[in-house]
Structure 1
Amino acid sequence: MMQHEGHVRILKSLKLFGMAHAIEELGNQNSPAFNQALPMLDSLIKAEVAEREVRSVNYQLRVAKFPVYRDLVGFDFSQSLVNEATVKQLHRCDFMEQAQNVVLIGGPGTGKTHLATAIGTQAVMHLNRRVRFFSTVDLVNALEQEKSSGRQGQIANRLLY
């Protein structure tokens, strides 16, 4: 069994193939200096993984096209007729496992955008899921434009991915 197999596996998963190969070679030499540098290598790998995760979350939040950042903590259930238990269940994002959508219906100022954004943000930040926010008007306009240009189904296909 290779001594630095874990390092090599992680570096390859990060697509750092040259570094992975170098680790294999250096590890085979069993150099004391290399072995002393392993804690620093571990720290650098952890920093790279963390940085990539942060960049990925930030990118997915931009792609989701939320109007503003919102989370569930900022929603005042005492000022709303919304069922708190239902919202908290949706916030767990279990509906995504069955590839279901959520449509929030209500009058202006009832918290639909806040709740949709909070649920979507939860999915991106804590479950590594891809989401896309649409207001009804924006979605209908996009579908109409798609239809008039003879490209029906493209939006639906993009949403399936």
Structure 2
Amino acid sequence: MRDIAKELKALRLHGMASTWTELTAQGDSSTSASRWLIEHLLQAEDTDRAMRSIHHQMSTAKFPSHRDLAGFDFDATQVDQHLVRQLATLVFTDTAQNLVFIGGPGTGKTHLATAIGIAGVTVQSKRVRFFSTVDLVNVLEREKRDGKAGRTAQTLMRMDLVILDELGYLPFSQIGGALLVEVQT
């Protein structure tokens, strides 16, 4: 049986929680008819909050497009499907390990990185941020130029997973490279 008072407090509905406690103290007949309705309302609120959280986290992540593992053709590549599905649990983030995809253009690196990031948000409730490496370097250089260095780095420190795409494909300045290394440490 659900602890309605506890769930109401968790939702910061302290007045309702104390009133519920008072009503249940009066006896079962005063609350039994209401219990079913309140439990369903609490479940609906939990579901709604979870969905809004996922929507917010997906917007914050700034994925280039929606990709998932179901849409990746493992048969057409040499990618280890079991390993990728294991990586999608994001267990490697618990020990602050890095993951690097190496391969030529069109081999699915961005698709897999995005799919792992989306699984992180939707299944693991992780905070994820996706960047094209050149875009991140440009943001870091702009911050430094505007005297606001460190803001993006602080934001990234709160993320569970930061995805850098296209590292090495496009050149960036030596200063930008140094700023990128600084963020990674």
- Report if TM-score (shorter chain) is over 0.5: yes
Alignment correspondent of 1:22 = 19
TM-score, structure 2 as length reference: 0.76
Aligned partner of 1:62 among 59, 62, 85: 59
Alignment correspondent of 2:141 = 144
| Residue 29 of structure 1: how far off its partner (Å) | 2.1
Alignment correspondent of 2:115 = 118
TM-score, structure 1 as length reference: 0.86
Q: State the alpha-carbon separation in 1 of the partners of residues 130 and 100 from structure 2.
A: 11
Q: State the alpha-carbon separation in 1 of the partners of residues 2 and 25 from structure 2.
A: 11
| Residue 12 of structure 1: how far off its partner (Å) | 0.8
Moved more, 113-122 or 147-156: 147-156
| Residue 92 of structure 1: how far off its partner (Å) | 2.0
Alignment correspondent of 1:41 = 38
Q: State the alpha-carbon separation in 2 of the partners of residues 39 and 122 from structure 1.
A: 33
Q: Which amino acid aligns with 2:77?
A: S
Q: Which amino acid aligns with 1:44?
A: L
Q: State the alpha-carbon separation in 2 of the partners of residues 110 and 24 from structure 1.
A: 59
Aligned partner of 1:76 among 73, 88, 106: 73
Q: State the alpha-carbon separation in 2 of the partners of residues 83 and 153 from structure 1.
A: 37
CA RMSD of aligned residues (A): 2.1
1:153 aligns with 2:113: no
- Pick the structure with more strand per residue: 2
Q: Which amino acid aligns with 1:65?
A: K
Q: State the alpha-carbon separation in 2 of the partners of residues 103 and 148 from structure 1.
A: 30
Identity value in percent: 47
Q: Which runs of 5+ in 1 are unaligned?
A: none
Q: Which runs of 5+ in 2 are unaligned?
A: 159-185
- Counting matched residue pairs gives 158
1:120-152 deviations in whole A, cap 9, x for unaligned?
A: 111111111111111122112112222222333
| Residue 54 of structure 1: how far off its partner (Å) | 1.0
| Residue 70 of structure 1: how far off its partner (Å) | 1.1
Alignment correspondent of 2:49 = 52
- Pick the structure with more helix per residue: 1
Q: Which amino acid aligns with 1:155?
A: T
